[in-house]
Structure 1
Amino acid sequence: MSTRGSDARSGQGGELVRILITETREELLKADSKAGLMLTALGAALTALLGTISAGGIAPQRYAPVPQILFWAGCAAWVPALVMFGLAVAPRAGKPQRSRAHYFGDAAGMSSVELFADLVRQTDPRERNLSQFLTLSRTVWLKYRCIRHGMAWSTVFLVLTPFGLLTGASA
């Protein structure tokens, strides 16, 4: 009876890992969507700013030193925000390994169908699922970390730049 209980628990554990993989994939899609939206909004804000400057609507180079510093510091914060959001949406394919059959990258490096078929037969599905869950979890964590940093830099851009414009225009 103890083997049946052990088999049932390992079956439930396998089901849990598949549920976790599904939820993690959904979170991965959410992270990509959030980062893409933020990247688009950041690009639109910079486009509007550059359009206003090039049309002569504002002239930050004519502002007093403090408003200019605020404005240009805000503009400089745009760069790391862009980099962080770009890193968040960048694809992460992982590193292929010839000794397993866990991901598409593992298959891409194979030169023979027979060799890969052998690897597939030798692959433990539970070990593969655990490996996939760990990899996806790390990817989601990294994407969200990049998004948080990008949001912080975006906030600096969106606060300092208009503040520099407002104080410069009123002087």
Structure 2
Amino acid sequence: EADSGECDDLKQVCVLVGNVMLSKGTLRAGGERVQVRKDPEGYQYGVIVAAPGKLATFRQRRDSSKPGLEEFVEGHAERIEYDEREDTVKLITRARVRLLENEVQRDELRGDAITYDQRNAKYFVTGGKPSADPSNPDGRVRGTIAPRAQAPSDGPSSKAGNVALTPAKDIVTPRSN
């Protein structure tokens, strides 16, 4: 969806402008201007640029190995680059990525640039120069990583966790000097 667009079949390039919303499988992306091109092997590459003062967006559903768990990665930046061949999403300038589990935020990363390697579920974050951005004035990488529940094991630590506590029978009064 877009307000206007122009496609060149010979060059395999399409440019969409004005409140653009794209969908490809479970990937959703939006911005003010989007350019999509296809290489001779059929891989697609997209560049999404936000309107001045705004942020471009993307949202991708991840495959979850846990039943009943829906995982999404969503991000915002002034510019987003999608590379189908490398299976990466690069967020450039005022970048932010969040991992959601059943629509509840688990993790968040912020920096000047973030590369999300979808194939390996890895994030690479770089800081930038100090800026006037109130959420990150010193330009450093910021992150919030939520703790994960540990699976129970048969080791000694799991058995120690099942020990019942009982009150002491003999309480000694402390000596005073």
- Asked whether the two chains share a fold, i.e. TM above 0.5, the reply is no
With the length of structure 2 as denominator, give the TM-score of the two structures: 0.21
**TM-score, with structure 1 as normaliser:** 0.22
